[in-house]
């Protein structure tokens, strides 16, 4: 039996190599994020070309019944502006509209996937995005929520000739959607921000795994979540597995409390960037169910045979009611 003895100098050298290795790993993630940020994110016609595997998924991947308008509001923050997509006839409607706030992946600003926000708005949502590039802490989501409150409560808003959202925002029905770093952001918006208690549901696509997030100082704690949560990721390997493998998504799912409604599914052969668009039929269905109470949308996730469980484009599905 041999005992290997390290002198102090050797210990320091060994620790130095470990730290260098960690630094290289984090740098690789950073390069990967920048690579994604340099590419166009979602095509304007994505709803016409994405494959679906079920009737509910197909329905909600299509356009909704509302024409959509767009409005920008300057933000006195590093994310420059708020980008709002909403039903064009909002002022003449007697109803109020639920809100979905988007939390961006690193470098992938809302303007790079505007077609996703517009698509969701066509189903009767007020959708808010920003140009935030560092969304992990939930701050941009918090500020977007504060904007929604301001727009609903004030007939006149500085910077707007008129305010189409006055008394039209359903502040009891607010959801969050996030991808990658933004997937971390939706958790922290609920658990760490002032108005987190107002958020009723979250959707996280390929959220950065717990270990990676800790290494990047993007810490979050799924065990503190108290609202219905839908997790998705892809099985395409490569960069997607570095951000969140199947095992790591399962870890997030299992860390969520057993007392909430939670759903997990992985889209087959989907890469990290693909998760901004490929699962969006079910993303829309989720918000239609949780924020608008649509019975057909609910069947994708509930009942004796939820559609998402039977959908052959997905695997590793888990549902807890």
CA dihedral sign, ordered 36, 64, 202, 135 = positive
Establish if 224 belongs to a structural domain.
Answer: yes
Establish if 307 belongs to a structural domain.
Answer: yes
- What total number of domains does the chain contain? 2
Establish if 2 belongs to a structural domain.
Answer: no
Determine the pLDDT at residue 31.
47
Residues 107, 209 within the same domain = yes
Establish if 125 belongs to a structural domain.
Answer: yes
Residues 147, 19 within the same domain = no
Determine the pLDDT at residue 30.
54
- 125, 150, 227 from 171: Cα distances, Å: 12, 11, 15
Residues 249, 120 within the same domain = yes
Task: Report residue 25 as tokens.
Answer: 């790993």
Establish if 195 belongs to a structural domain.
Answer: yes
pLDDT digits (tens, 9 = 90+) for 2-59: 344 445 555 455 455 445 445 544 554 554 545 445 455 899 999 999 999 999 999 9
The Cα–Cα gap between 129 and 253 comes to 26
* 3-state SS track over the chain: CCCCCCCHHHHHHHHHHHHHHHHHHHHHHHHHHHHHHCCCCCCCCHHHHCCCCCHHHHHHHCCCCCCEEEEEEECCCCCCEEEEEEECCCCCCCCCEEEEEEECECCECHHHHHHHHHHHHCCCCEEEEECCCCCCCCHHHHHHHHHHHHHHHCCCCCCCCCCCCCCCEEEEEEEEEEECHHHHHHHHHHHCCCCHHHEEEEEEECCCCHHHHHHCCCCCCHHHCCCCEEEEEECCCCHHHHHCCHHHHHHHHHHCCCCCCEEEEEECCCCCHHHHCCCHHHHHHHHHHHHHCCHHHHCCCCCCCCHHHHCCCEEEEEEEC
Establish if 134 belongs to a structural domain.
Answer: yes
Residues 24, 62 within the same domain = no
The Cα–Cα gap between 163 and 155 comes to 6
Residues 30, 177 within the same domain = no
The length of the chain, given as a count of residues: 321
270: Cα within 13 Å, side-chain hemisphere: 26
Establish if 65 belongs to a structural domain.
Answer: yes
Determine the pLDDT at residue 4.
40
Determine the pLDDT at residue 26.
53
pLDDT digits (tens, 9 = 90+) for 270-282: 999 999 999 999 9
Task: Report residue 219 as tokens.
Answer: 């810490």
Residues 55, 136 within the same domain = yes
Determine the pLDDT at residue 261.
99
Burial 200-223 (b: 16+ CB within 10 A, else e): bbbbbbbbbbbebbeebebebebe
209: Cα within 13 Å, side-chain hemisphere: 18
Task: Report residue 258 as tokens.
Answer: 């057993």
* Phi, psi at 192, each rounded to 5°: -120, -15
Residues 211, 281 within the same domain = yes
Q: How many Cβ atoms from other residues are within 10 Å of residue 144's Cβ?
A: 28
Residues 172, 266 within the same domain = yes
Spell out, as residue ranges, where the chain has pLDDT lower than 70: 1-40
Residues 94, 16 within the same domain = no
Establish if 200 belongs to a structural domain.
Answer: yes
Residues 274, 292 within the same domain = yes
User: Residue 242's domain is classified under what CATH number?
Assistant: 3.40.50.1820
pTM strictly above 0.85: yes
Residues 22, 138 within the same domain = no
Residues 19, 90 within the same domain = no
DSSP state, residue 188: H
- Domain around 128: 46-320
């Amino acid at each position: 039996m041999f005992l290997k003895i390290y002198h102090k100098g050797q210990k320091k050298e060994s620790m130095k190599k470990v730290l260098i290795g960690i630094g290289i790993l984090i740098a690789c993630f950073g390069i990967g994020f920048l690579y994604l940020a340099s590419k166009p994110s979602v095509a304007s016609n994505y709803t016409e070309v994405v494959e679906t595997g079920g009737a509910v998924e197909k329905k909600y991947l299509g356009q909704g019944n509302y024409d959509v308008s767009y409005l920008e509001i300057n933000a006195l923050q590093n994310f420059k502006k708020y980008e709002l997509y909403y039903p064009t006839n909002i002022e003449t409607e007697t109803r109020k509209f639920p809100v979905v706030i988007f939390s961006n992946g690193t470098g992938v600003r809302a303007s790079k996937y505007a077609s996703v926000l517009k698509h969701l708005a066509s189903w009767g949502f007020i959708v808010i995005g920003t140009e935030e590039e560092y969304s992990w802490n939930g701050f941009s989501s918090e500020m977007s929520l504060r904007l929604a409150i301001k727009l609903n409560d004030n007939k006149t808003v500085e910077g707007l000739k008129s305010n189409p959202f006055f008394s039209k925002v359903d502040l009891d029905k607010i959801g969050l959607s996030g991808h990658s770093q933004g997937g971390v952001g939706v958790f922290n918006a609920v658990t760490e921000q002032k108005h987190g208690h107002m958020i009723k549901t979250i959707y996280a696509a390929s959220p950065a795994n717990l270990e990676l997030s800790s290494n990047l100082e993007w810490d979050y704690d799924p065990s503190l979540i108290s609202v219905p949560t839908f997790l998705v990721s892809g099985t395409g390997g490569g960069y997607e597995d570095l951000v969140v493998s199947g095992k790591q998504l399962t870890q997030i799912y299992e860390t969520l409390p057993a007392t909430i409604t939670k759903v997990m599914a992985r889209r087959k052969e989907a890469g990290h960037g693909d998760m901004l668009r490929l699962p969006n039929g079910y993303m829309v269905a989720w918000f239609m169910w949780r924020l608008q109470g649509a019975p057909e949308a609910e069947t994708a996730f509930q009942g004796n045979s939820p559609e998402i469980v039977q959908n052959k484009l997905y695997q590793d599905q888990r549902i807890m009611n």
